[in-house]
Amino acid sequence: MVNLILIIALPLLAAFLIPLFNYINKKLPSIVVFLTTAINLLIIILNYNQIILEPVIIELGNWQAPFAINIYVGTLELISITVISIISLIIAFYNLNHSNFSSESKFHTLYSIIIAGIYGIVMTGDIFNLFVFIEITTVAAYGLTTFNKDKGYEAAIKYIIIGSISSVFLLMAIGFTYSAVGSLNMAVIAAASNLIDPGLVRIISLLFFVGIAFEAGILPLSIWVPDVHSIAPSAVSSTLSGLVFLAGITALIKIFFNLFADPSLYVFLMIIGAISLIIGELIAYQQDDIKRMLAYSSIAQMSLVLTIISVGTKYAISGGLFQLFNHAILKTLLFLTAGLMIKYAGSRNISDLGGIAKRIPLIAVGFSVGSLGILGVPFFNGFVSKIMIVNGSLNAGEYILTFLVLFATVIEMAYYLKVIQTIFFGKISINPHKIVKSYVPIIVLITVVFLLGIYPELITKPLNQATGELLSRSDYISNVLGGM
């Protein structure tokens, strides 16, 4: 077995060596990033069979559990890091040909750092370490946003202001947790959470929600999302939308299921999520800018995941998690293809993309596959997760929620099909710009979409196991702390 800490350490090492590589050869940084992401995928594959049998806990510095910062990789974390490594590899491959930024090596440095931060958020077992990794991710994301010279600075300022306010609330939550429990280890906090005053637990979890929901794209705190996602380069938008949101939601799930499993909080999450879902879909419907539309759709999808997970039954949780991973794959596909279409047409407006499918058919098909996947058409991966979500909410007796999910899907259908209709059957009115057509990432992503649509067992089996682990907190505690 290879030590899993390497998948955080390698991208960080690569990030700080990239200026040196850039000095040797201008082409080298992108290749180095590609290689590190490939090695990460390899490490995870080598460890896969062992982690699926029992969670792996790595204690840093050889200290015992409550004193050391530990890395906890259970089944949920395993699926997350597998999806993250696959997607980051695909985006790194895309960057090989598309790094047309004036200061390339800085871009690749920041991309490496953001990948390391995302792995860290998912795997860490210590709440202060969680804060540090969230800050690593967001600071790298602030930098990546500014790479678009056009409007990147305005979006970045917005992002920095909201991010700093949220991080203050996150720190406050961590401080209160520490003063109540006397430890920063997640397992110790989970073990002690029944002894804390329930009112304090509610305040702390609310503060955690404010601190992390900004990263996870839940609406009241994510007003930065449309600006940043639409303005950043498309490789960055897909990283932010696919991977950072995934990490944020995973962190929220850990806080609300492993740390403080208070059922009265789930109602709150459900209401916030449902409101955010409907508002996100309605705003997405009104957008004419294709990337803004995708960004609002991301907000809606994340809210859907949060809502359905907060139902709290086993079936609903695995449906929500499945949707989370589907969304990561589909939004990467959508943002990459949308970025290429925007570059080809030289415009962000949907109405200017008419008939683009006749000129660059494969890219348009990629976009349609992504859209149909999000809508949940049969044989696409979104179908299975949508079925699980609807089933899960019906079985739990949340009929209003089922109605809202279906209503949201109808709105979604309206705006995605509008785009598909425009790009396939609209009047051709583009003067084409030269683009580098990179088909490999698109084909790989389309393959993954159909693979998961036709053989959902690939992911549903580990997902059921992950849900089981999430719902049995005592196992988590005893895994980390041993017999204590």
Partner 1 sequence: MIDFLEKWSFFGGSVLLILIGLYGVITRKNLIKIFIGLSLMDTGINVLLVSLGYVEGGIAPIITSTINNNSYNFVDPIPQALVLTSIVIGVAVLALGLGVIIKIYEKYNTLDISEIRGLRW
The window from 104-112, 150-158, 189-197, 454-462 that contacts partner 1 (CB under 8 A) reads 150-158
Q: Determine, following the binding rule CB under 8 A, whether residue 58 of this chain makes contact with partner 1.
A: no
Closest to partner 1 by CB, 37 or 137: 137
How far is Cα 22 from Cα 479, in angstroms, rounded to an integer? Answer: 44
Q: Determine, following the binding rule CB under 8 A, whether residue 126 of this chain makes contact with partner 1.
A: no
For partner 1, which residue of 200, 223, 271, 484 counts as binding (CB under 8 A)?
223
Closest to partner 1 by CB, 142 or 296: 142
Closest to partner 1 by CB, 20 or 161: 161
How far is Cα 322 from Cα 385, in angstroms, rounded to an integer? Answer: 6
Closest to partner 1 by CB, 43 or 130: 130
Q: Determine, following the binding rule CB under 8 A, whether residue 139 of this chain makes contact with partner 1.
A: yes
CA 26 to mean position of chain CA atoms = 30
Q: How far is the CB of 174 from partner 1 (least distance, A)?
A: 7
Closest to partner 1 by CB, 142 or 335: 142
Is the dihedral angle over the CA atoms 56, 59, 62, 63 positive or is it negative?
Answer: negative
Check if the beta carbon of residue 240 is closer than 8 Å to that of residue 232.
Answer: yes
Q: How far is the CB of 425 from partner 1 (least distance, A)?
A: 33
Taking residue 96's Cβ as centre, other Cβ atoms within 10 Å add up to: 16
- Stretch (H or E) spanning 58: strand 56-59
Closest to partner 1 by CB, 75 or 185: 185
Q: Determine, following the binding rule CB under 8 A, whether residue 171 of this chain makes contact with partner 1.
A: yes
How far is Cα 269 from Cα 258, in angstroms, rounded to an integer? Answer: 15
**Tokens linked to 144:** 């990546």
Q: Determine, following the binding rule CB under 8 A, whether residue 128 of this chain makes contact with partner 1.
A: yes
Q: Determine, following the binding rule CB under 8 A, whether residue 165 of this chain makes contact with partner 1.
A: yes
Binding string, residues 245-284; x marks residues near partner 1 by CB under 8 A: ----------------------------------------
Check if the beta carbon of residue 211 is closer than 8 Å to that of residue 170.
Answer: yes
Closest to partner 1 by CB, 12 or 89: 12
The window from 29-37, 78-86, 126-134, 303-311 that contacts partner 1 (CB under 8 A) reads 126-134
Q: Determine, following the binding rule CB under 8 A, whether residue 288 of this chain makes contact with partner 1.
A: no
Q: Determine, following the binding rule CB under 8 A, whether residue 164 of this chain makes contact with partner 1.
A: yes
Q: Determine, following the binding rule CB under 8 A, whether residue 175 of this chain makes contact with partner 1.
A: yes
The window from 72-80, 97-105, 155-163, 214-222 that contacts partner 1 (CB under 8 A) reads 155-163
Query: What 3-state DSSP class applies to 346?
Result: coil
Q: Determine, following the binding rule CB under 8 A, whether residue 172 of this chain makes contact with partner 1.
A: yes
Q: Determine, following the binding rule CB under 8 A, whether residue 196 of this chain makes contact with partner 1.
A: no
**96 CB contacts (<8 Å, ≥6 apart)?**
30, 31, 34
**88 CB contacts (<8 Å, ≥6 apart)?**
37, 40, 115, 118, 239, 243
Closest to partner 1 by CB, 95 or 177: 177
CA 259 to mean position of chain CA atoms = 21
Q: Determine, following the binding rule CB under 8 A, whether residue 64 of this chain makes contact with partner 1.
A: no
Number of residues that bind partner 1 (CB under 8 A): 32
How far is Cα 394 from Cα 376, in angstroms, rounded to an integer? Answer: 17
For partner 1, which residue of 6, 17, 68, 160 counts as binding (CB under 8 A)?
160
Closest alpha carbon to 262 in 322, 203, 174: 203
Q: How far is the CB of 204 from partner 1 (least distance, A)?
A: 13
The window from 98-106, 177-185, 332-340, 407-415 that contacts partner 1 (CB under 8 A) reads 177-185
DSSP state of 72: E
The window from 69-77, 173-181, 238-246, 294-302 that contacts partner 1 (CB under 8 A) reads 173-181
Q: What is the dihedral of CA 167, 170, 176, 180, to 10 degrees?
A: -140
Closest alpha carbon to 122 in 193, 51, 175, 64: 51
How far is Cα 380 from Cα 363, in angstroms, rounded to an integer? Answer: 17
Rg (CA), the chain: 21
In the Cβ-directed half-sphere of 418, how many Cα atoms lie within 13 Å? 18
Q: Determine, following the binding rule CB under 8 A, whether residue 157 of this chain makes contact with partner 1.
A: yes
Give CA separation, 164 vs 171, 230, 239, 244, in Å. 11, 21, 21, 17
Q: Determine, following the binding rule CB under 8 A, whether residue 448 of this chain makes contact with partner 1.
A: no
**Tokens linked to 35:** 């290689």
The window from 169-177, 202-210, 278-286, 360-368 that contacts partner 1 (CB under 8 A) reads 169-177
Q: Classify residue 48 as exposed, middle or buried by CB count within 10 Å of its CB (0-12, 13-18, 19+).
A: middle
Q: Determine, following the binding rule CB under 8 A, whether residue 101 of this chain makes contact with partner 1.
A: no
For partner 1, which residue of 163, 242, 248, 392 counts as binding (CB under 8 A)?
163
For partner 1, which residue of 153, 379, 399, 455 counts as binding (CB under 8 A)?
153
How far is Cα 196 from Cα 430, in angstroms, rounded to an integer? Answer: 63
Could you list the residues that contact partner 1 (CB under 8 A)?
A: 128, 131-132, 135, 139, 142-143, 146, 151, 153-158, 160-161, 163-165, 167-168, 171-172, 174-176, 178-179, 184, 223, 227
